[in-house]
Amino acid sequence: MQPAIDILILSNGPGELATWVKPVVQALRQQMGDDRNQVRLSVVLSPCANASGQEAAIARSYPEVDRVQGAEHFFPFLLWGKTAAQWDWRSHGVVLFLGGDQFFPIVIGKRLGYRTVIYAEWEARWHRWIDRFGVMNENIMTRIPQPYVHKFTVVGDLMAEAGRWRSEERREWGAEAAEGKEIPSLLTPHSLPPHPLIGLLPGSKPTKLSLGVPLCLAIAEQVYAVNPATRFVIPVAPGLAVTKLATFADPATNPAIEQLGWTSAILVLPAAPDERPWLKTRSGLRVDLWTEAPAYDLLSQCSLCLTTVGANTAELGALAVPMLVLIPLQQIDLIKTWDGIPGLLANLPVIGGRVAKLMTHLALKRLGRLAWPNIWANAEIVPELAGALQPKAIAAIVQDLLDHPKKLQQMQIALRQARGQAGAASKLAQLVVEALREDE
């Protein structure tokens, strides 16, 4: 008789839960069965800057999962090995990394005596101490020292699993336009398409929002003036209140609006429980605010998105949603959203502005390779538009794409090709099975 096993899944943010954990736990149950006395699935969450506070509830909603511990209890578990609910652990098991810091499974795996498996989307670390790696594509393999290559398997793109289930419901934009059909929408009834639906993703940090919000609103007004059938939506970043977002559309709290002559808006709160908040621009344009996270269902319906650089480009790329990547540089010394030590230096008093300018100039030398899809493909498959961006010029590009759906289709195809192969969840589950066999 096979020994009972525990599979401990480490994860963190809402995106990882929706696009990594959900398909993998489904694949694990398909391959390993639903006998909870034989195979038990536990999810332990670590803190995440993009967390919404609902991550534990989301994980508990997955019927394949048996136990969940929230992020607030993570570090005591990491340091002392005790969960808040004093979970027991079986003698055989695997620690499966699906989000967080790749160092965590080393510590936890050693303490529990379990094999360790990591899903690596961009970069794989700690090669010596991890047992197996499932990676998104061959690009990661080229950076692995030869003694550890045997630990690596290309499994494909877990985020593609999230996009694929919606793709069957999506019809090509050109065919829809030709047939005059409407697309089922996740927006409230007052904002149902006709197509196109354009997503506006101005960022989550104040330095991006101060330019991104009024710029996106100004572009939306220009597009709407030419094509009033167009609808617009902002998927609000997790942890960002709609009231806070609205301050970046208010000239009283965002001086960049008047300085640059861009568009302002006011927040309209819903009058009924089934309605959504929205921004009303000075011309009367309605921009819906989508507060559920992650917003992959919504983004899947967009013909095009306007986004900043960052994780948004990775999510859109995984869903094969065409995009324009906007990098406004009207206030270059205020761009202080760099990570790590550069970010700390850019936010220092006195010298921070000069550091921010330097970092931005260095980054712009890589223009065309700043968005994640372009990094994956090592080519500019989605346009990166940097400089003193003007709404009218960007709107003309948007309208050209909408007028020529084949261009959107070509971008969509290139995005799909840039990501890994399909079926990643099943292949990663198979790696877990193989790791358990090695432990016998």
Q: Residues 173-212: pLDDT tens digits?
A: 334 433 444 434 445 433 434 579 999 999 888 888 999 9
Buried b (16+ CB within 10 A) or exposed e, 203-218: bbbebbbbbbbbbbbb
Pairing of strands 286-290, 278-281: antiparallel
- Tell me if 245 sits within 8 A of 277, measured CB to CB: no
Contact between 211 and 328 (Cβ < 8 Å)? yes
Q: What is the DSSP string of 91-130?
A: SEEEEEE-SS-TTHHHHHHHHHT-EEEEEESS----TTT-
pLDDT at 161: 67
Question: Do the domains spanning 5-157+421-438 and 169-418 agree at the CATH topology level?
Answer: yes
Give the burial class of 28: count Cβ atoms within 10 A of its Cβ; 0-12 exposed, 13-18 middle, 19 or more buried. buried
Q: What is the DSSP letter of 344?
A: H
Strand locations in 236-310 (E): 265-268, 278-281, 286-290, 304-307
pLDDT of 353 reads: 53
Instruction: Going residue by residue through the chain, which has 440 residues, state the pLDDT in tens, using 9 for 90 and above.
Output: 578 999 999 999 877 887 899 999 999 999 999 999 999 999 999 998 767 677 898 899 999 999 999 999 999 999 999 999 999 999 999 999 999 999 999 999 999 999 999 999 878 889 999 999 999 888 788 888 899 999 999 998 887 765 554 444 444 433 443 344 443 444 543 343 457 999 999 988 888 899 999 999 999 999 999 999 999 999 998 778 999 999 999 999 999 999 999 999 999 998 888 889 999 999 999 999 999 877 888 998 999 999 998 778 888 988 889 999 998 886 544 444 444 444 444 454 555 555 555 555 555 555 557 888 898 788 899 999 988 899 999 999 999 999 999 999 999 999 988 876 678 999 999 999 999 988 66
- Classify 373 as helix, strand or coil: helix
| Burial environment of residue 395 by CB neighbours within 10 A (0 to 12, 13 to 18, 19 or more) | buried
Closest CA to 63 of 32, 93, 36: 36
Find tokens 């570090």 and name the residue: 75
Please check whether residue 19 is in contact with residue 296, taking contact to mean a CB–CB distance below 8 angstroms.
yes
Given this structure, which CATH class describes domain 169-418? alpha beta
Domains of the chain by residue range: 5-157+421-438, 169-418
What is the CATH number assigned to the segment(s) 5-157+421-438? 3.40.50.2000
Query: Global pTM?
Result: 0.67
**In the beta sheet, which residues pair with residue 164?**
none
Angstrom distance (rounded) from CA 128 to CA 356:
37
- Going by their DSSP bridges, the two strands 115-120 and 323-328 should be labelled as unpaired
CA terminus-to-terminus distance, the chain: 12
Write the pLDDT tens digit of every residue in 343-397.
444 454 555 555 555 555 555 555 557 888 898 788 899 999 988 899 999 999 9
Beta bridge partners of 254: none
DSSP 251: T
- Asked whether the beta carbons of 169 and 201 are under 8 A apart, the reply is no
pLDDT score recorded for residue 273: 80
Which among 299, 297, 293, 301 is positioned nearest to 316, based on CA atoms? Answer: 299
What's the sign of the alpha-carbon dihedral 232, 237, 239, 244?
Answer: negative
d(CA 403, CA 392): 16
Query: Is 153 strand, coil or helix?
Result: strand
> Residue 249 and residue 247: Cα distance in Å, rounded?
5
